[in-house]
Structure 1
Amino acid sequence: MNYTILVHGAAYGTQNASSAFLFCKSLLALNQILHSVFFYCDGVYNANSMTTPAVDEFNLIQAWQSLHKKYQVKLYVCTSAALRRGVIEDESISKKNIQKGNLAIFFQLSGLLELADSMQKCDRIIQF
């Protein structure tokens, strides 16, 4: 089976993103194909590199990055939802100053067209 995962929940404050991550790990352990993970609505907070959990908490952002590094899972972030929530790739503050954005590495800004394409290629889409 070929899966796309849609994450609506923020990295912290809800269980959605954690459950999605554990589901993804389970799919891969069962040798299923994980085509991509698409972060939408508050799910875009999973791509915020400025999020710093407490030392004794699980770092979900790093976990998503590790999933990409180990399995080459595509981590798509809805551009519109990200911009509304302050998750940016690069933004010009003024003509003299350039500030690097807070989009975590391995996450890729994309549109709903990418989600539609992923849905067309997959057997199942699971939403968290």
Structure 2
Amino acid sequence: MNYCLVVNGPVYGTQTSRSAYLFANALIEKGHTLKGVFFYQDGVNNGSALTVPANDEFDLVAAWQSLAQKHNVRLETCVAAALRRGIVSEAEQQLHQLSNSNLAQGFEQTGLGSLAESLLTQDRVVQF
């Protein structure tokens, strides 16, 4: 089956994002296809290039990046939710004439239309 995940929880502070990551790996191990992960609300913080966990903590941003690269999974952050939380792509940096961008490599900023498309085209959408 083809899956899409929606992650609303922050990168750290709750178990939500880590649970979504573990679920994503389990899907792939069972032979399912994970087309994409849509990060919404506080979940957009998973796409920050400025997240620096302690040396003895799991680096969830790097884990998402590795999963996406290894299994061809799209990592999308909602552009409106991301901008409100200070997660800015290079394109948005230029558009809003900001001094920096901080969207992690491998993530892209999209609108809710991308999520709507996944809702219509994937076999299952699971929200965390």
User: Is the TM value for this pair above 0.5?
Assistant: yes
The offset of 1:100, in angstroms, is 3.4
Match of 1:113 in 2: 113
Counterpart for residue 25 of structure 2? 25
Once residues 100 and 89 of structure 2 are traced to their aligned partners in structure 1, the CA distance between those partners, rounded to angstroms, is 7
Q: Deviations over 1:11-67 (max 9, x none)?
A: 100100000000000000011011110000000000001010000000000000000
How many pairs are equivalent? 125
More strand, by proportion: 1
Deviation of the 1:99 alpha carbon: 3.2
2:40 maps to 40
- SS of 1:35's equivalent in the other structure is strand
Instruction: Extract unaligned runs of 5+ from structure 1.
Output: none
Q: Which residue of 2 aligns with 1:102?
A: 102
Structure 2 residues without counterparts, runs of 5 or longer: none
Cα distance in structure 2, aligned partners of 1:42 and 1:63:
18
CA deviations over 1:102-124 (Å, ceiling 9, x no partner): 00000010000000001111111
Larger Rg: 1 or 2? 1
Considering only aligned residues, what root-mean-square deviation do their CA atoms show, in Å? 1.4
> Partner residue of 2:125?
125
Report % sequence identity.
Answer: 46
Query: Corresponding residue for 1:85?
Result: 85
